[in-house]
Chain A
């Protein structure tokens, strides 16, 4: 029955592609830096080959915040773009406003349900309908390490939290900055993603951040997580506050610092500096979080458009985004991994392949979880409430006990 429907859709899709001259797509996004934008250009050219024009609407800033403000103005003015780059709960929030379109036809025809991990589908689908096409999966619980410093100090890749602390201590004793970090709220929170799992395991992470359980948030385990943040705090240099993440990466690249905890986009900085994974730098999961992957995923949400031509163009764009070739081509440049688990990752570098394998395994085991720091565990208001507490604690305003209590209250207040 299902198969029949799918075939019907394919036929309909093919018929429409040949008969209707598809309209243009206007794409609002914030991928403006060199590599990302170039990668997106691949998509543009692919669509142009199919006769679909690409109207570019780039608005960078604040990890998409500026673009979301623009989007709000556009929607309010009754003139939404056709496709918009979005993250996590934003997609769901916009869907709840009833302004998004529907991609069920192309999703069914291409069998997205089977190839996209379920945790991702939670964001790409609303009320059972496909509303967005995922482009990539970033994961946040990575550590980037300077291999020559580790070799010099005779350190192996740490696998437990205790080993990690010992390794940082050794680096600090050797006069290096143990942990390169930039003190911005989202960076503090990115570390917190990994630290919470290391302290309480994936189940605890889910209870605390996804179910937002008051008891978990104020529990002794959470206090322990905050204590671990204090440990990390003692290994950063004095000037960490306000530093951009890529300058922190540069410290690891330039042999000034031993480790950085950052999402996999940091890889781009290392590769750009001519460093080779495995030889010059190491990538591994935050010690104590092996087997878990906290992710964030860029998606293109499709806005409801009146006429059929435009809807057709949207479907074709979504289909192009989901095509295995694009997924590989794009993610090779971006540092992330494909959003579908069935593509051949052999073209990716060592870290990318590792990331893909771990993602597939985590998806299998139910430990593939949305990143709190990047808006994939809870809504914007809650996320920012957590940011406030984590940052305040990291900057020494609270002790661990108070922080856990404040966290539980802040989350409850923002819900």
Chain B
């Protein structure tokens, strides 16, 4: 995109540099507030910081202690269960809703905001509503019993092995509408003529979507994956409001673990170590995506 460089007078030189100058504040902020802080956190993870940062080096002790903690293992395993289910279910629901909503549905204008609105609510209070809905004593189970369906049972939130799935339900509720919007946008961008041609050729609806439409939605899948992955890893409010990490500590996630060790248990070193592990996992997941994404653009 080089401009003509016949006479590099001040004006053209400025023009040359202007784009970089415009970009520089963002880049500078990024290096200080993101990468600088990451380096700082990595450093803290090797110190004996407790309540406030300290600079006494203790080597890898924090990491050793971290991996010796049962709660950390629970948190990591939970994140595995939670993130995979959450991403898969959100994508499936989002895609189905988008495809169905795209069939010239009457009332689309009404349905769309209904699907989207959960994204607008903060979980501070919505969590309480969900907690009540899923509570067997006062929520759905109780309501079903009152309606006469005596054998209905839904008590996952009280069950150590199942509670993490209730977190998935609430999380899916919050973001699947947003994913729907992303897929809907993707669908609306597809050239209709191609579909018509395929339909004339006698392809069944199922094949039409499986062979043509869904492959065309690849960019939407990727964007949805990035958004969902980052939300899954950052999930914090959700846990705090819905289960408080319980029953016991059965629904602890790395984000809640990190917060509790850094801020409520006064073990900032261990908190920092868990943050570093989290960042490393994010990098491991994101780098291939970024690499593919950026190479394609060349």
Q: How near does chain B come to A285, taking the closest CB pair, in angstroms? A: 28
Chain B contact residues: helix, strand, loop or mixed: loop
One of B14-22, B100-108, B257-265 at the interface:
B257-265
Contact B71 A388 (CB under 8 A): yes
Contact A239 B135 (CB under 8 A): yes
Q: Is B288 an interface residue (CB 8 A)?
A: no
One of B89-97, B181-189, B245-253 at the interface:
B245-253
Contact A238 B158 (CB under 8 A): yes
Q: What residues on B are CB-neighbors of A391 within 8 Å?
A: 246, 248-249
The total of Cβ contacts below 8 Å across the A-B interface reads 80
Q: How near does chain A come to B157, taking the closest CB pair, in angstroms? A: 6
Q: Is A381 an interface residue (CB 8 A)?
A: yes
CA of A239 to CA of B250 in the docked complex: distance in angstroms?
A: 16
| B 115-159 binary contact with A (CB < 8 Å = 1; else 0) | 000000000000000010001110000000000000000010110
Q: Is B160 an interface residue (CB 8 A)?
A: yes
Q: Is A65 an interface residue (CB 8 A)?
A: yes
* Given A241-B247, A242-B244, A72-B264 contact (CB < 8 Å): no
Q: What residues on B are CB-neighbors of A394 within 8 Å?
A: 248
Q: How near does chain B come to A180, taking the closest CB pair, in angstroms? A: 11
Contact A68 B247 (CB under 8 A): no
CA of A76 to CA of B245 in the docked complex: distance in angstroms?
A: 28
* Given A381-B265, A388-B71, A242-B246 contact (CB < 8 Å): yes
Q: Is B190 an interface residue (CB 8 A)?
A: no
Q: Is A249 an interface residue (CB 8 A)?
A: no
Q: How near does chain B come to A283, taking the closest CB pair, in angstroms? A: 25
Contact A239 B260 (CB under 8 A): no
Contact A381 B267 (CB under 8 A): yes
Contact A72 B248 (CB under 8 A): no
Q: Is A211 an interface residue (CB 8 A)?
A: no
Q: How near does chain A come to B90, taking the closest CB pair, in angstroms? A: 24
| A 380-408 binary contact with B (CB < 8 Å = 1; else 0) | 11001000100110111100000000000
Q: What residues on B are CB-neighbors of A379 within 8 Å?
A: 266
Q: What residues on A are CB-neighbors of B136 within 8 Å?
A: 238-239
Q: How near does chain A come to B31, taking the closest CB pair, in angstroms? A: 21
Chain B residue nearest in CB terms to A375:
B264
* Given A93-B51, A242-B158, A395-B160, A380-B243 contact (CB < 8 Å): no
Q: What residues on A are CB-neighbors of B160 within 8 Å?
A: 395-397
Contact A384 B158 (CB under 8 A): no
Q: Say which size band chain A's interface belongs to.
A: 20 to 34
| Interface residue ranges of B230-287 to A (CB < 8 Å) | 240, 243-250, 260, 263-267
Chain A contact residues: helix, strand, loop or mixed: helix
CA of A24 to CA of B51 in the docked complex: distance in angstroms?
A: 28
Q: Is B52 an interface residue (CB 8 A)?
A: yes
| B 197-212 binary contact with A (CB < 8 Å = 1; else 0) | 0000000000000000
Q: Is A237 an interface residue (CB 8 A)?
A: yes
Chain B residue nearest in CB terms to A65:
B264
Contact A97 B51 (CB under 8 A): yes
Chain B residue nearest in CB terms to A99:
B52
Partner of B158, one of A62, A76, A241: A241
Partner of B249, one of A68, A238, A392, A396: A392
* Given A76-B52, A185-B246, A391-B249, A237-B265 contact (CB < 8 Å): no
Contact A384 B265 (CB under 8 A): yes
Chain A residue nearest in CB terms to B141:
A239
Contact B246 A384 (CB under 8 A): no
| Interface residue ranges of B39-57 to A (CB < 8 Å) | 51-53
Q: What residues on A are CB-neighbors of B246 within 8 Å?
A: 183-185, 241-242, 391, 395
| A 72-110 binary contact with B (CB < 8 Å = 1; else 0) | 100110000000000000000110010000000000000
Chain A residue nearest in CB terms to B136:
A239
Contact B243 A384 (CB under 8 A): no
CA of A87 to CA of B245 in the docked complex: distance in angstroms?
A: 23
Partner of B264, one of A68, A75, A397: A68
Q: A185-B249, A239-B155 are in contact. List 11 more A-B contacts (CB 8 A).
A: A62-B264, A65-B264, A69-B264, A72-B263, A94-B51, A185-B244, A239-B135, A242-B131, A380-B264, A391-B246, A391-B248
B contact residues vs A (CB 8 Å cutoff): 51-53, 70-71, 131, 135-137, 155, 157-158, 160, 240, 243-250, 260, 263-267
Can you name 22 A-B pairs with beta carbons within 8 Å?
Answer: A65-B263, A69-B264, A72-B51, A94-B51, A183-B247, A185-B245, A238-B158, A239-B136, A239-B155, A242-B131, A242-B157, A242-B243, A242-B246, A379-B266, A380-B264, A384-B264, A388-B70, A391-B249, A392-B248, A395-B247, A395-B248, A396-B160
